[in-house]
Structure 1
Amino acid sequence: MPTRHSLVTGANRGLGLEFVRQLLARGDRVVAACRHPGKASALNQLTGQHPGRLHVLPLDVADPKAHAELAKELDLLGDGEHYRLGLLVNNAGVLHSGERFGRVSAAHLEDSFRTNAMGPFLLTQALADKLADGAKVANITSELGSIAGLGRFGTPSYNISKAALNMAGALLAKALAERGIAVAMLHPGWAQTDMGGDNASLPVAESVQGLLRVIDALTPKQSGSYLDWQGQTLPW
């Protein structure tokens, strides 16, 4: 079976870093993208442990110009051949905590939308010709993006942007369907990351193991699905 090429955004910490670890352990060649590769010490250590199989590249997912630069860098990794990705994990995201009704700022809403929804959509569009036929696109979303599941007012800029990401992913599923590319919106559970906070209960390694099982099982017929890390369907 040929080696799969995978790309993970927001790969310097948390879920993204764990995706990189587990994909490398599986034998993938991995591109780990983050805003400041020079400061990504854990990633750079992994590069030394997996020579030639891990490349750390700069990416600000909210900047469309950075998407084009990343696409050019991927071509350089192709050794003269057209670079093909078997898996794209749109993981990079931002959460502005402490928002209260009456004091929600336009700046937080715009930043959240650009990073959490617009960024993954435009990056996938920019890398579409780098995706192999039959590839998979995993958009790391949240159950907080579920309109039907809304229980209280909280983290509005995050919730709104994740709901937008869910629609973006559903649209990407339609756009890429003819090439057999499966797109899924995946909730990682309340994982023990910086974003998850002190009360999170799910170990990061367990979350990513579950997410990869869901990704492995994903078929083109399921493209556009909104699932949690255990493969359960979430309400839109």
Structure 2
Amino acid sequence: MPTPPASRRSLVTGANRGLGLEFVHQLLARGDRVIATCRQPGRAHALNQLVGEHPGRLHLLPLDVAAPKSHAELVRELPLVLGDDDTRLDLLINNAGVLHSGERFGKVAAETLDDSLRTNASGPFLLTQALAPWLADGGKVANLSSELGSIAGKDAFRTPSYSISKAALNMATALLARALVERGIVVLALHPGWVQTDMGGSGAEVAPQDAATALLRVIQRADAGDSGRFLDRHGMPMAW
């Protein structure tokens, strides 16, 4: 039987702005208890305001997704915010990401590529691994990927660090799906579209509200047969 909406518990990374913040708004609106994470909670003014508006239902915790030590600290904090030992996370949204703009072939820096891989690929993989004991059987993991990580769709040299890291995230998604299959946990790689955020820019095509609504609908409808797939915000398959 599905978990009643009022008792669902969700964790969102990179929740201080853009799509992550919109996920928090919509998860709270549907009745979830939410753990929102970001690197500098003290500067997350919109999130702190939401905490005041939703006492006991929204908790804000520090997390640097690129730092495994920060993952361990988050895991230690979870019992304090989740409560009793039987409580588990029903949904993990790996939303935090980074895009380094202005890269040119011949000038791509090793530190830029390393930062992209740590934040966009190995970070979400290792965080999910660390949180696995706290995920509910039958729960869901949503990894925010991108069409730029599609190898089949690559037709030009652009955003190499971001593209490489998102392709790696897609592989991480497939591996996590296999690792968690016996517990019925569904793991998805999701392309939200070109979203109007600080990363996407003002010229982007999709409002954060519309992207979050569509993605949450895809997550809600996904079942075991979808685990490990790469889907767009309409639930349609993306080319690897």
TM-score after normalising by structure 2: 0.97
Match of 2:46 in 1: 42
Give the aligned residue type for 2:75: A
1: CA distance, partners of 2:138 / 2:100: 35
Is 1:86 the equivalent of 2:90?
yes
- Tell me the secondary structure at the aligned position of residue 7 of structure 2: coil
Give the aligned residue type for 2:129: Q
1: CA distance, partners of 2:159 / 2:83: 44
- Percentage identity across aligned positions? 67
**1:178 Cα shift?**
0.3
2: CA distance, partners of 1:158 / 1:218: 26
The question of whether the paired residues in 2 share the 8 Å contact of 1:75 and 1:82 is answered with no
Match of 1:222 in 2: 226
2: CA distance, partners of 1:80 / 1:213: 29
Match of 1:167 in 2: 171
- Give CA deviations for 1:3-29 in whole Å, capped at 9, x if unaligned: 100000000000000000000000000
2: CA distance, partners of 1:207 / 1:80: 33
Match of 1:200 in 2: 204
- Give CA deviations for 1:148-171 in whole Å, capped at 9, x if unaligned: 011211000000000000000100
2: CA distance, partners of 1:189 / 1:33: 23
The question of whether the paired residues in 2 share the 8 Å contact of 1:184 and 1:225 is answered with yes
**1:96 Cα shift?**
0.1
Is 1:60 the equivalent of 2:70?
no
Match of 1:14 in 2: 18
- Tell me the secondary structure at the aligned position of residue 127 of structure 1: helix
Match of 1:119 in 2: 123
Give the aligned residue type for 2:216: L
Give the aligned residue type for 2:55: P
Match of 1:177 in 2: 181
TM-score after normalising by structure 1: 0.98
1: CA distance, partners of 2:68 / 2:8: 26
2: CA distance, partners of 1:190 / 1:211: 13
Give the aligned residue type for 1:229: R
The question of whether the paired residues in 2 share the 8 Å contact of 1:47 and 1:55 is answered with yes
- List structure 1 segments (4+ residues) > 6 angstroms apart after TM superposition: none
- Tell me the secondary structure at the aligned position of residue 56 of structure 1: strand
Q: Which runs of 5+ in 1 are unaligned?
A: none
Q: Which runs of 5+ in 2 are unaligned?
A: none
**1:80 Cα shift?**
3.5
2: CA distance, partners of 1:60 / 1:29: 21
1: CA distance, partners of 2:157 / 2:7: 45
2: CA distance, partners of 1:133 / 1:70: 20
**1:79 Cα shift?**
2.5
Give the aligned residue type for 2:40: H
Match of 2:109 in 1: 105
2: CA distance, partners of 1:197 / 1:16: 15
Give the aligned residue type for 1:196: G
Give the aligned residue type for 1:52: G
**1:198 Cα shift?**
2.6
- Give CA deviations for 1:166-193 in whole Å, capped at 9, x if unaligned: 0001000000000000000000100000
1: CA distance, partners of 2:86 / 2:103: 45
Counterparts in 2 of 1:75 and 1:133: CA distance versus 1, 3 Å: same
